[in-house]
Structure formats: C-alpha cells, structure tokens
Structure 1
Amino acid sequence: MGKRLILLAVALMFASALYLLPGLGQKWQFVLSLRSTRLAGLLVVGMAVAVATILFQTVARNRILTPQIMGIDALFLFLQTALVISLGPIGFAAISGPAKFATEVTVLVGAALLLFGTLLGRGAQDVPRMMLTGVILGILFRSASGFLSRVMDPNAFVIVQSESAASFSRIDASLLPFVALTTAMVIAVAIGLASKLDVLALGRPTAVSLGLRHDRLVLLVLVLVAVLVAVATALVGPLAFLGLIVAALARPLTGSDRHLPLLLTAMLLAALMLVAGQTLFERALGQQSTLPAVVEFVGGLVFLGLLLKGRIR
C-alpha cells in the first residue's frame, strides 16, 4: 500500500509541475501566480471533497451516497438566488469575496448542524431519517430557486447561473489561506479518528459492544463533513459526483476498508484527477468545456454502475 501512495504522490507532483510550468512566456510572474492560485484551489477542493465523501459513506454505511444528498448544493443555489434578488445585480457584485464566502460558509454549516442536531438528538440510529429529510429539503430549496428564477430579471438570472455553477477559474486567492488551514485541520482530525472509523463502519451494535461512543462519534464525523463540504462549495461551487468517483476508485485500489489508507488514497486521487483534468482542458482542449461538467457526467455513470452492480455497502 505504501508504494501505491508514493506513486500517487509522485504522479500528483508531476501533474502539478505540468500544469504550472509549461508556456509561461514573458509575463511569467503573473501567469505563475494565476496558475498557483488555481492549483492550490484544485488541491484543497479535491482533498476536502474526497475526505468528506469517505466519512459520510462510513456514517451512512452506503457506498453510493455523497454528502450532497443532504441538500447542501440545493441550499447553495437557493442562497445565490436569494442574494441576487434581495441585493440586485449591482449590490450582489459589490459584495466583497471574503464577506460573501463567510456568509455562504456560515449558512451552509449552520443549516447542516441544525439538521444534524435536530434529527439526531435522540441517537445516531436516526441517520436514515436524517438523510431522507435532507433529500426533501434539497427538493424544497431547488423548487424555491426555480420559482424565484422565473420571476427575476433576466440579467439577474444570468448572474445566478454563473455563480451557481462550479468553476476553478474564479477562485479568490485571498480566501485560500483560510480554506487551506480549515481543510488541513479537519483532515488531520479525520485521520486521527481513522481507527475509530474502522470500528464505526462495523455497524452500531458491534461498535457499541466494542466500547465505542457511537452516537457522539457520528455527530462529530457529520460536523467534519459539513465543514469540508461548506468550504469547498463556497470556494468553487457544487461538485456533486467528484467524491463518488474518488471513493469508487480508492476502495479497489487500496484493497482494504481501513480508513487510514483509504483517506490518503482518496485525497491523492481526487487532487490528481482535478489537476490532470484541468491541465487537459486548458492546454489540449482550449477550454472548450469545463472540468466540473465532465466530472458530473462521469460521476453519474459511476453512480449507475455501482447501483447496477449492487455495491452499496
């Protein structure tokens, strides 16, 4: 397993160098600064989404689910729509990047914690009920966003569409230090819990019999998931299926359900996929499409494949 991790790390470093260095030109300082910002965003978002998905699948005990089933993406879309309608296109454009980011993260994390705290107050055995409620809330937010989009000004609708789609080209460099630090801290906590997560994956009765404080650990893991998904979504937009693809590849690659190698492999895979994919789109395809769109398409195929093969648990 160690050799595979080393190979993935080397491949990631090579892909990063390939993205950063070729074709810098005379204005190499500006180009390198721009590419460095995007590269940092690709690495942070990839690792955050990968860890969040593995943790959520462990809690849900289901390999075809992602944290986005809780309606976080739909809430993000509704929030963009509500901000544009309430402030207007000019007022929305006047919001500073850090202020907008802080608002989005606060709302997303707050909503997730409210959902977790309310529905899991009687014990973590209510996880299926919590997920079902998240699905219903997601439908509610999307319906509300759709209604508001029909009555808003066309110019405002264009802004909502632009802000709601995932994009690595509009990453705010001033936000990266906070996002990177938050993501690193949460991932460090997740890795520290790896052995307990192995026990948690055995199911509640077994975990409790082995002395694990199951309900408390489930709540902690869901909080970590909420923070990771919130900061990644607020930084670049929703990426619903990236985590599903990475988790589906990481499990057979590691050949184990142990969380320490699984988390490390998933992080490296996600970062490698995003960096290599962005390099391909910018250099070979001339940005004729977007990486998030392809990720969503491939993720949908992976979801169907897992569903048809019955690889749920």
Structure 2
Amino acid sequence: MMSPADRSMRARVLITGTTALCAGLILAFLTIGATGDWGFVLSFRGDRLITIALVAWAVPFSTVLFHTLSNNQILTPSIMGFDALFVLIQTLGVFLLGSAEVGAMDSRLVFAGELAVMTLFSVGLYRLLYARMTRLLELLLLVGIICGVLFRSVAGLLQRLIDPGEFLVLQDRIFASFSGASSSEQLSAAVLIGLSSAWAWYRLPAIDAMLLGRDGSIAVGVDHKRLSLEIFLIVTFQVAATTALVGPITFFGLLVVHLAYRLLPGAPHGMLIPLSILLGSVLLVGAQVLLERLLGFIGTVSMIVEFVGGVVFVLLLIGGRR
C-alpha cells in the first residue's frame, strides 16, 4: 500500500512528465508537415486542437466523477443513453428534413438544440424518479440503459427507411469527429465545461468523502443526496457538451481513467482528475500526430480510441468476474 507522501511524490512526477509529453506532442501536431502560410496552418490546426482539449478535459473529468457517484469503475456516463440519443437526433433530422436542409441550418442552433435535448432528457429522468424511489441511482442507470436501447432501435429503423444517399451523409454525422466544430460551438462547450468543472472543484473535499460510501460520507457530515444530485448534473452538462460538440465517444474516458487508477492507486480526486486529463490529452494528440502526420492517415482517431477502449472494457469485465 502506497503511503500518502509517496503517492503525492508519484503524482507530481507523473503530472510533470505527462505535461511535458503533452506539450511536445502539441508542438509536433502544430508543426509537422506544415507548409505555406503559417498563420493559416496554425489557425486550422489550432481549431482542432481546441476541440481535442475540450474533449480530453471533460470526458475523463466526468468519468471519474461518475465512478465516484455510482461506486462502480466499469460504468461510463454514456450508459445513461447520451450516445444513442445523439444518434437518434441526427437520424430524425435527416429523416424528417433531409441532409441538405440539416446541413444548411445554423450550426449554433443545431449545437444548442442537441445540448438542450440531451440535458433535458437526463435531468427530466432524474426528476421523474427522484421523489419516487429510494435506490435512485441503480434504477436511473437501468432506465438509462433501456432508453439507450430504445433510441438505438428507433434510429436503426429510421436509417433503414431513408434514402441510401442520405444514409451516407448521416454516417458522417453520427461518428465522432474532432474537425468541423465552429468557434461558437467551442466557446459554448468551453463555458459549460468550465463552469461545471469549477463547481466540481469547489465541491472536491465533499466528493472525496463520497469515496467512503454512502454511510461513511453521511457520518462525516456530507449531504449525500444533495451532493449526488450535484455530481449528476455536472456529469450531465459535461457529457452533453462533448457529445454535441464531437459526437459519441463511449470508451475513451474509461481507457484513460483506468490508466490513471493503475498509475495512482487510491489517490484522491485532486490527483486523479488532472492526471486523467493529461493522459487523455496525450492519447488524443499523440494519436492525431501518429495517424495523420506521420502515417498519412486522413481522418479522425475516434475509431482507434473506441476500439482500444472497448478491449479494455471487456478485460475489465472479465477481471471483475474473477
């Protein structure tokens, strides 16, 4: 068992090392293969880098908080059905309006609409069950899974009914992509993620106490029910913002957070969250540099990250059964 002093020293070394590595990868991402007008190149790559930074911040942050809330390190916030709801929203838009009409809509309006629908769905579900059930969280997760299956089923049915050409356009919209987000969307997501993160950081001592369990946190003076609602809202805002910004990313948070758990076992949130964010930044930026700049692969890294994260998820399930 690692002592608090040793854990603190290891945390400083890991955070310093990953910060330096992340800075080097960002420099490589901005400069490798850059030709022509540097102002244009840095602006174009910088926009994508901002989107990557927002995702690398919010997804691990919300995943760590969700693990504390659910007392289960295998679950991810996407279990609430955000990813399936996003796909359903995109599918309904193309099915009802057509890809041309959807593409011509103001991106700020689309982003705000997606964010509002996902947030209202999650908060409405919580409010609906809050006053009726004693074991709220377990039921909430179960209902979220059921809603996710329903959303995927309806989206799948509609996708089979639309024109094949429209379906090809839809496919580009339902897969995660770090390019294409406008500056207004980035600003809106950054404000929501920043405010919710500040809220969580302010409540971090009480959130640390939740690691003692429900009875233990209540014994040290934490209003467990209220704090659970606060954490749930923080997770909802961050996941909804990133999903509306880039699309569904299911296993990315699980991958980097469990790496942080292995590097800093038993660490408090004040150590785990920064390390998870830095590891997520290294993973996303490093993958962009490797696949796009060095290997000449045109596209995003979401498929690779999701594949590796899915393998990690399966291994965690197998390990949990043992």
Task: Name the TM tier (shorter chain).
Answer: over 0.9
The structure-2 alpha-carbon separation of the partners of 1:27 and 1:124, relative to structure 1 and needing over 3 Å to count, comes to farther
Q: 2:149 aligns to what?
A: 139
1:169 maps to 2:179: yes
CA deviation vs aligned residue, 1:220-278 (integer Å, no higher than 9, x gap): 10111111011101111110000000111011212323111011111111111111111
- CA offset at residue 8 of structure 1? 1.4
Write the mapping of 1:268-283 to structure 2, written as runs, cut at 5 A. Answer: 268-283=278-293
Alignment partners' CA distance in 2, 1:266 and 1:311 = 25
Alignment partners' CA distance in 1, 2:33 and 2:296 = 14
Q: 1:21 aligns to what?
A: 31
Counterpart pick for 2:14 among 4, 25, 29: 4
Counterpart pick for 1:38 among 42, 48, 60: 48
CA deviation vs aligned residue, 1:141-197 (integer Å, no higher than 9, x gap): 000000111111222211221100001122223322222222122112222222111
The structure-2 alpha-carbon separation of the partners of 1:28 and 1:288, relative to structure 1 and needing over 3 Å to count, comes to closer
Q: 1:60 aligns to what?
A: 70
- CA offset at residue 22 of structure 1? 2.5
Moved over 4 A (4+): none
Write the mapping of 1:146-161 to structure 2, written as runs, cut at 5 A. Answer: 146-161=156-171
**Structure 1: gaps spanning 5 or more residues:** none
Question: How many residues matched?
Answer: 312
Q: Are the aligned partners of 1:105 and 1:230 in contact in 2 as well (CA < 8 Å)?
A: yes
Question: What amino acid does structure 2 have at the position aligned with 1:292?
Answer: S
- CA offset at residue 117 of structure 1? 1.6
Write the mapping of 1:163-312 to structure 2, written as runs, cut at 5 A. Answer: 163-287=173-297, 290-310=300-320
**Structure 2: gaps spanning 5 or more residues:** 1-10
Q: Are the aligned partners of 2:58 and 2:193 in contact in 1 as well (CA < 8 Å)?
A: yes
Counterpart pick for 1:110 among 120, 130, 135: 120
Question: What amino acid does structure 1 have at the position aligned with 2:151?
Answer: F
The structure-2 alpha-carbon separation of the partners of 1:260 and 1:125, relative to structure 1 and needing over 3 Å to count, comes to farther
- CA offset at residue 288 of structure 1? 5.2
TM-score (norm 2): 0.93
Question: What amino acid does structure 1 have at the position aligned with 2:85?
Answer: L
The structure-2 alpha-carbon separation of the partners of 1:95 and 1:124, relative to structure 1 and needing over 3 Å to count, comes to farther
TM-score (norm 1): 0.95
Alpha-carbon RMSD: 1.6
